[in-house]
A = this chain, B = another copy of it.
Amino acid sequence: MKRKDQIIPKITGIEKEKVMLLKNNMKSESFFHYLAETFKAMSDPTRAKIIYSLCLENELCVQDIAAVIGTSSSAISHQLRTLRNMKLVKYNKVGKLAFYSLDDIHINNLFAEGLRHVEEK
């Protein structure tokens, strides 16, 4: 009987049960890809400023966002496309103006949680 193994188990990093459990509960590759993309959409200072602005004022047009942030309309338009592609913002075109707003309440929650984290650090 291998008594030693019971009393003094070999120290090894491999914890098979944990690994098995996690592997069985792992989400799909595409799930993590999409999740990462969502965070990535918020991971640029310019885009963070855009989202922050849309949290305070729930509808803004491109040039106003550009004015608030202090950069070109072109740069903002490029970034808004990224946010649009990731379904973080939606927009409403009135004549030549495009009014952007956050796509749904989850975006507010997610961003607010990020704000809270940074403010409390």
Q: Which residues of A contact B (CB under 8 A)?
A: 11, 13-15, 18-19, 21-23, 25-27, 29, 31-40, 42-45, 47-49, 52-53, 56-57, 60-64, 67-68, 87, 95, 97, 106-107, 109-110, 113-118, 120-121
Contacts of A29 in B (CB 8 A): 45
Q: Do A39 and B43 have beta carbons less than 8 Å apart?
A: yes
Partner of A68, one of B23, B33, B107: B23
Q: Do B45 and A33 have beta carbons less than 8 Å apart?
A: yes
Q: Do A32 and B18 have beta carbons less than 8 Å apart?
A: no
> With A32-B52, A52-B32, A57-B22 as given contacts, are A14 and B64 in contact (CB-CB < 8 Å)?
yes
Q: Do A32 and B14 have beta carbons less than 8 Å apart?
A: no
